[in-house]
Amino acid sequence: MQPGSILCVTLGGAATPVLEALIARGWDVTQAGDLVAAGRIQAHRHFKVGLLIVGTSLIVAEAAVEACVNASPGSEWICLCEAEALEHTGLRELVLGCFFDHQVLPVDLDELEMTLQHASQRALLRLRHDAAHRHAVDALGMVGQGPAITRLRQQIRKVAATDAPVLIGGESGSGKELAARAIHQCSHRSAGPFVAVNCGAISPNLIQSELFGHERGAFTGASSERRGLIEAANGGTIFLDEIGDLPVELQTNLLRFLQEKTINRVGAVRSLHVDVRVVAASHVDLAEAVAVGQFRDDLFYRLNVLSIEVAPLRRRMEDVPILAEYFFQRCAAKSRARVKGFSRQAVAAMLAHAWPGNVRELFNRVQRAVVMTDRRLIGPNDLGLAPVDNPVGMGLDAARTVAERDAIVLTLTRVGRNITHAARELGVSRMTLYRLMDKHSIALDAGPRPHVTPPWSAPTAPLQPLRPAPAGHPLDAMLGTPAAGAFHADWTGVDKPVGRA
């Protein structure tokens, strides 16, 4: 292999003989006498390999060296120092965490050249790897390459071209808010505000004045006039999350706003014109809420002009590794963690998990693993996932059977054990579903159904677990998250019962 170009940062020690020897062997060496000069050079030119030469001790702060090393993310670094310098914990930590390799002076040039070549090859590999992943993240911050996310992107661009209300459906954590932001960003309103409101999180007696604003003296405590959130979104988009939680009387006000584009602050006589696009989202099925009288049908039809469904993560498992890698990069860049990525077992465990908490759950698990792992590669345990036992030896038929059973139990769980809905979701007739349930010994407990079926209502005992329940992760206690279903309350019910027997 040909000698390449390297950036050499000399912070002390007898650097000159080493550099001269490397130049004599054909290396293109750019030298920086301190970290400031190194920063200037890095701003203009990318080096696959950096060489840091330290004498007997580090004469600058470790953090400054770390910043220099991280300034060009695609580079690999090698440290040359006296053995004495490695007595200092700070330098040892730096070398172990941020450097490809180190060598002790006096240098063995053959060995150094070999290390430089290896580092260069590794940098090249990383560059190719990053390039392959980069186009998975679009300008909207949405990661994924599978057919489901591709379709979602197309739908987002279509609806963004209009000004009509949009209703986004999908389970909690699947990316509804991200989709709403993307619609705003792609629309002609992108320079205007994007205001997100969680209708379920504001107390019912405050929500009217929060949304519509109030005049001075409109009620006890209204000592001054106040703009509401809809007014604050003027010229932009308001995102009404969990719109199913909006009290019925406010549904009437919202309908008036959608029809007439005017609002009345609480206590106001005059109405105000506002130019705001509404994007709403709900994790409950609003059509069902309409059917049981909990949601106004006229508002539903008005909102449902354009509707988008964000698929649950388990229906687009092809995106799991890319999303995991993306979140890993984001978390690892922020922390001083030395962790390099996921082990093969971790990837297998992620592909076997049903992700009831969807993308949010994946993000939370990766974030926690990056902070808590002591290893170079994140393992299933760090993610709080059960290791997959020998998936390779399972055989295709067995794997199909397991997948079929998984799909049925998950769907039944999600639709509150409603056979008609489950059959529709699974794309089979009710008779076929009964037959398959019989084949897999899945019993259906005729428990009372809630009015509006929560998508993750916990199944009762007869829905047998498919996989061993991931036990409450021991780290949950340390991080102060509840042990069972640690990440998001919405999937608490599912994390336990869904698993393989």
Ligand X SMILES: Nc1ncnc2c1ncn2[C@@H]1O[C@H](COP(=O)(O)OP(=O)(O)O)[C@@H](O)[C@H]1O
Quote the CA–CA distance of 128 and 455 in Å, as a whole number. 41
- Least CB distance from residue 176 to Mg ion, whole Å? 6
Cα angle 456-359-433, degrees, rounded to a multiple of 5: 40
Cα angle 222-228-234, degrees, rounded to a multiple of 5: 150
Sole window of 113-121, 170-178, 255-263, 465-473 interacting with Mg ion (rule: CB under 5 A): 170-178
| 373 and 384 Cβ atoms separated by less than 8 Å | no
Task: Pick between residue 175 and residue 459 the one whose CB is nearest to Mg ion.
Answer: 175
Partner that binds at residue 189, options Mg ion, ligand X, none, CB closer than 5 to 8 Å by kind: none
Quote the CA–CA distance of 329 and 165 in Å, as a whole number. 35
Partner that binds at residue 77, options ligand X, Mg ion, none, CB closer than 5 to 8 Å by kind: none
Quick one: the chain helix, strand, coil %, rounded to 5?
A: 45, 15, 40
Binding site for ligand X (CB under 6 A): 142-144, 149, 170, 172-178, 323, 359-360, 363
- Least CB distance from residue 451 to ligand X, whole Å? 22
Task: Pick between residue 75 and residue 358 the one whose CB is nearest to Mg ion.
Answer: 358
Residue 28 tokens read as 């293109």
Partner that binds at residue 170, options ligand X, Mg ion, none, CB closer than 5 to 8 Å by kind: ligand X
- Least CB distance from residue 144 to ligand X, whole Å? 5
Q: 358 Cβ partners below 8 Å, 6+ apart? A: 171, 172, 173, 174, 175, 312, 313
Nearest to 133 by CA among 358, 328, 370: 328
Strand, helix or coil for residue 266 = strand
Task: Pick between residue 50 and residue 169 the one whose CB is nearest to ligand X.
Answer: 169
Task: Pick between residue 168 and residue 409 the one whose CB is nearest to ligand X.
Answer: 168
- Least CB distance from residue 284 to ligand X, whole Å? 12
Partner that binds at residue 148, options Mg ion, ligand X, none, CB closer than 5 to 8 Å by kind: none
Partner that binds at residue 359, options ligand X, Mg ion, none, CB closer than 5 to 8 Å by kind: ligand X
- Least CB distance from residue 392 to ligand X, whole Å? 29
Task: Pick between residue 27 and residue 327 the one whose CB is nearest to ligand X.
Answer: 327
Task: Pick between residue 175 and residue 499 the one whose CB is nearest to Mg ion.
Answer: 175
- Least CB distance from residue 194 to ligand X, whole Å? 13
Q: 74 Cβ partners below 8 Å, 6+ apart? A: 46, 48, 123, 126, 127, 130
Residue 310 tokens read as 């964000």
Task: Pick between residue 100 and residue 363 the one whose CB is nearest to ligand X.
Answer: 363
Count of Cβ atoms closer than 10 Å to residue 282 Cβ: 24
Q: Does 490 interact with Mg ion (rule: CB under 5 A)?
A: no
Task: Pick between residue 242 and residue 495 the one whose CB is nearest to Mg ion.
Answer: 242
Residues 254, 255, 260, 264, CA torsion sign: negative
Residue 462 is given by DSSP the state T
Partner that binds at residue 346, options ligand X, Mg ion, none, CB closer than 5 to 8 Å by kind: none
- Least CB distance from residue 337 to ligand X, whole Å? 20
Sole window of 157-165, 172-180, 287-295, 338-346 interacting with Mg ion (rule: CB under 5 A): 172-180
Q: Does 177 interact with Mg ion (rule: CB under 5 A)?
A: yes
Sole window of 174-182, 432-440, 449-457, 462-470 interacting with Mg ion (rule: CB under 5 A): 174-182
Task: Pick between residue 76 and residue 490 the one whose CB is nearest to ligand X.
Answer: 490
Task: Pick between residue 174 and residue 251 the one whose CB is nearest to ligand X.
Answer: 174
- Least CB distance from residue 254 to ligand X, whole Å? 19
Question: What are the angstrom distances between the C-alpha of 261 and each of 258, 273, 446?
Answer: 6, 6, 46
How many residues lie near Mg ion (CB under 5 A)? 1
- Least CB distance from residue 175 to ligand X, whole Å? 3
Task: Pick between residue 100 and residue 327 the one whose CB is nearest to ligand X.
Answer: 327
- Least CB distance from residue 291 to ligand X, whole Å? 23
Partner that binds at residue 244, options ligand X, Mg ion, none, CB closer than 5 to 8 Å by kind: none
Sole window of 176-184, 340-348, 361-369, 490-498 interacting with Mg ion (rule: CB under 5 A): 176-184
Quote the CA–CA distance of 129 and 78 in Å, as a whole number. 21
Partner that binds at residue 178, options ligand X, Mg ion, none, CB closer than 5 to 8 Å by kind: ligand X
Quote the CA–CA distance of 309 and 148 in Å, as a whole number. 10
- Least CB distance from residue 302 to ligand X, whole Å? 21
Helix H segments across 135-146?
A: none
Strands 262-263 and 272-273: antiparallel
Residue with tokens 């389970």: 171
218-256 core/surface letters (b: 16 or more CB in 10 A; e: else): beeebeeebebbbbbbbebbbbbbbbbbbeeebbebbbe
| Residue showing the smallest CB distance to ligand X in the complex | 175
Q: Which helix (H) or strand (E) holds 115?
A: helix 109-134
Q: Does 382 interact with Mg ion (rule: CB under 5 A)?
A: no
| 284 and 455 Cβ atoms separated by less than 8 Å | yes
- Least CB distance from residue 284 to Mg ion, whole Å? 13
Residues near Mg ion, by CB under 5 A:
177
